[in-house]
Structure 1
Amino acid sequence: MPASLPPLNALRTFEVAARHLSFSKAAQELCVTQGAVSKQVQLLEQYLELPLFDRLHSGLVLTDAGRQYLPAISQALETIQSATASLQQSMHASDTLTLNLTPSFSNLWLIPRLDQLRRDMPELKLAMVTGDGAFQFQGAQADMAIRCLPLSLSHEHSTLLKEEVLLPVVNPDLLRQRPIDSPEDLLAHPLIRHITRPQLWRQFLQRMVGGEPTAPRYSHGFEHFYMSLEAARCAQGVALVPDFMASQALARGELVNPLGLAYRSGYGFYFLVPPYRARSVGVQRFHAWLALQLA
């Protein structure tokens, strides 16, 4: 007998046919034709090199080999079914999905919208952990991730949620002290640095002011946008913050974008999903919700 395992579909067909002692009833249970049942049984008999049924005019009868084989096969199939159901149940015992995302996306955008998410997807629970930079799912214990990355088509297992558009935002009290009537007037204010992307202000000023602007006066530097936005709210200077992250502070009048300037940085916010989670209904629905909210 070959050392490899017999075909699983043939084993399943044999178990059903043996239980009913009828190819026609087995076909009904398996939703296939009677001919398909017969073919699968023959395939298993050829594999075993033993007959499993005696085909009599009065119907099917198990051979000695069939009677010996059936209990073990029934138990094995039940074990497989039970193990599969147990695994699926343990993996989906709750609808909690682990999301690894940048602190700024979490603090400035997602957390303020959790009530809306609960109304739109009441069955979903998120377990949120923060991270930044390149992300690898291997060993990360996450179902999905959100990262700010250079715009590219080469990011694996990722979908662009929103292009990064940066706004210069400032406390209105500072604006009253030193009005900003042109892009050059930004240089009269301290500029809050983004220490992990120190080129942002230089690129912004070259685009908006043109040429090589007067040396800017920098304020403190911060690692994350949510820190820069809070510093701007506390009148520490002008910060560059993504438009959707600054929207609530702008709507409340805590910050203003004095000239309505906007700068496309060449970065974007990407939704990342490992291949083994890509077909999850919860992941797909959450992805669609994010895309809709950010549109």
Structure 2
Amino acid sequence: MALRADLLPALAAFESAARHQNFTHAAEELHLTASAVSHHVRKLESRLGVTLFQRHARGVSLTAEGRQLADAASSALADVDSVVRGLRAARAEHNRVRITTLHSLTYTWLIPRMRDLHAAHPDIRLSLDTEVALTRFDDAGPDLGIRHGPGHWPGLTAHLLMDETLFPVAAPDLPGLDKVTTPADIARMPLIADHARQGWLDWFRAADVHGAHIEERHTFSDTTDALNAAAFGHGAALARQRIVAPYLEAGRLVQLPGPELQARWGYYVVYPAHRRLRPAARRFVDWLLSQPVD
């Protein structure tokens, strides 16, 4: 006889009871009552015309027919479960956006905003690559990138995400900070640098400080490491406005006297000009470009 659709719940209840050899444990797994599981099993036995369980005072045990059906049901339900998991995984991967970006921007700007992203697009999944080397946008590569630069790269479409300004910061409890009242005073402090194209020399020139001996005591390849070093009191760092904001808000760093230097480079969302963005990546780009930057 063909298995009718109305027997599928009974078959699922039987398969669980057969695995546990216990109606109560099956009921807990299926969020049913033990009597409901028993009813499903009796319905299946009645329809098949065979006894699937021997009932006795200590519980239940499978009959030979029950064991035969249990093996087939377990295999069939496992196959269905595997397919369902595969379909869900494929759907999740369909909504995954692969991004190459800067560690500093991810740590201090993107991650704090991801709750808003999830509220607006709960199905989007992100994979973030923050390696220093520029990633190739081939078929196996990322969907898009967020780059710090001049705004034009061969073969890439670029949208300005936000510009940037530079200014000095230090820990509020740095010894002698109360005596720092002018940009020239900063030149006498221990200075912390990163590998950005614009640095302390550019800022002191903008601050009209000339002829000072500038010593960069510590240099870091990543901006967040430089800011952390400043927050721990190792000297003054030249901060990027977008990156330093969480440190200022938390009171770990304070802005020092002097001008805010407009950076030559900004942050851009980039992706291959020859390839149309997938729908999930397009929604992520639209969300990025809608973010307030002030």
Sort the Cα spacing of 1:184 and 1:93 in 2 relative to 1 into closer, same or farther, 3 A: closer
Deviation at 1:134, TM superposition (A): 4.4
Q: Deviation digits for residues 230-262 of structure 1, max 9, x if unmatched?
A: 111111111122212111110111101123631
Sort the Cα spacing of 1:213 and 1:261 in 2 relative to 1 into closer, same or farther, 3 A: same
- Secondary structure of 1:174's match? coil
Letter in 2 for 1:125: R
Q: Deviation digits for residues 132-187 of structure 1, max 9, x if unmatched?
A: 35443126610111111135587732112111212211101116545321111111
**Separation in structure 2 between the aligned mates of residue 108 and residue 145 of structure 1, nearest angstrom:** 17
How does 1:1-295 map onto structure 2 within 5 Å?
Answer: 93-132=93-132, 134-138=134-138, 141-152=141-152, 156-174=156-174, 176-194=176-194, 196-197=195-196, 199-210=198-209, 212-259=210-257, 261-275=259-273, 277-295=275-293
Total equivalences in the alignment: 205
Sort the Cα spacing of 1:250 and 1:260 in 2 relative to 1 into closer, same or farther, 3 A: farther
Deviation at 1:279, TM superposition (A): 4.0
**Separation in structure 1 between the aligned mates of residue 176 and residue 120 of structure 2, nearest angstrom:** 41
Structure 1 equivalent of residue 24 of structure 2: none
Deviation at 1:213, TM superposition (A): 3.5
Sort the Cα spacing of 1:278 and 1:234 in 2 relative to 1 into closer, same or farther, 3 A: farther
Contact 1:277–1:283 under 8 Å retained in 2 = no
Root-mean-square deviation (Å): 2.6
Structure 1 equivalent of residue 77 of structure 2: none
Contact 2:168–2:238 under 8 Å retained in 1 = yes
Sort the Cα spacing of 1:163 and 1:133 in 2 relative to 1 into closer, same or farther, 3 A: farther
Contact 1:178–1:188 under 8 Å retained in 2 = no
Q: Deviation digits for residues 186-232 of structure 1, max 9, x if unmatched?
A: 112111121x336511111111124x330112221000111111111
Deviation at 1:267, TM superposition (A): 0.9
Sort the Cα spacing of 1:192 and 1:94 in 2 relative to 1 into closer, same or farther, 3 A: same
For structure 1, which segment, 283-292 or 165-174, has the greater mean C-alpha deviation from structure 2 after superposition? Answer: 283-292
- Secondary structure of 2:225's match? helix
**Separation in structure 2 between the aligned mates of residue 140 and residue 175 of structure 1, nearest angstrom:** 51
Sort the Cα spacing of 1:244 and 1:198 in 2 relative to 1 into closer, same or farther, 3 A: closer
Contact 1:163–1:268 under 8 Å retained in 2 = yes
TM-score (norm 2): 0.62
Letter in 1 for 2:217: S
Identity of counterpart residues, as a percentage? 26
Q: Deviation digits for residues 52-105 of structure 1, max 9, x if unmatched?
A: xxxxxxxxxxxxxxxxxxxxxxxxxxxxxxxxxxxxx96875311111111111
Sort the Cα spacing of 1:140 and 1:201 in 2 relative to 1 into closer, same or farther, 3 A: farther
**Separation in structure 2 between the aligned mates of residue 169 and residue 184 of structure 1, nearest angstrom:** 14
**Separation in structure 1 between the aligned mates of residue 292 and residue 135 of structure 2, nearest angstrom:** 22
Is there any run of 5+ residues in structure 1 with no aligned partner, and where? 1-88
Is there any run of 5+ residues in structure 2 with no aligned partner, and where? 1-88
**Separation in structure 1 between the aligned mates of residue 176 and residue 213 of structure 2, nearest angstrom:** 23
Letter in 2 for 1:97: V
Contact 1:98–1:126 under 8 Å retained in 2 = yes
Deviation at 1:123, TM superposition (A): 1.5
**Separation in structure 1 between the aligned mates of residue 291 and residue 232 of structure 2, nearest angstrom:** 28
Contact 2:152–2:158 under 8 Å retained in 1 = no
**Separation in structure 1 between the aligned mates of residue 140 and residue 163 of structure 2, nearest angstrom:** 25
- Secondary structure of 2:145's match? strand
Sort the Cα spacing of 1:174 and 1:244 in 2 relative to 1 into closer, same or farther, 3 A: same
